[in-house]
Structure 1
Amino acid sequence: VVLFGGCPSGTRVSFDTARLHYDQITLMSPFHFTPRDVSKAQRLLGEGRIDGRPLITGTYTFPELLQVLALLQQGQGIKYALVPQGA
């Protein structure tokens, strides 16, 4: 189970711990970056101080989205750029 959402502080949820244990369910809550982090990364990339190209496995157009999702499902690649056709 992957938890997404950025819920307000103090939000609570409950789980059946027997199911977690006996069904071997893993709970994950990935961290996403703050707007300040994103702005800083954009600035560093824009200034050329960080080279993001090694992180982009491939560039595809939106009609190729299903192909990209299949690659990700197969565990291939790191990040894929989706660009408008003709860009």
Structure 2
Amino acid sequence: MPHVPPIVHSRTANGPAYLLAWIRSPEGAWEADIAWLEVEGESRQGRTAHVPAEDITKIDGQDYSRVPRRAGKGRGGETVRPETAEDQRP
């Protein structure tokens, strides 16, 4: 059975979005990789974005324990790695 990512509320998406991953920025801040669907009439458009953690709000009843944590890229292209599983994340 496929895994469905948990839902968050996003200011960027102006509503619900799927939380695909946490990403550690080169500066050490956490960002959220999100996806959402925009529907206008019969038209549907999938959107994705990397947004600051402050852009999203967790929703009660969602399980965020399986959301992957990824390393971001530094300005020179080097990998910026998340610390450990015990790191505080949003």
Q: TM-score, normalised by structure 1?
A: 0.25
Structure ID, larger Rg: 1
Write 1 or 2 for the structure with the bigger share of helix: 1
- The answer to which structure, 1 or 2, has the higher relative contact order (CA under 8 A, 6+ apart) is 2
Say which structure is richer in strand.
Answer: 2
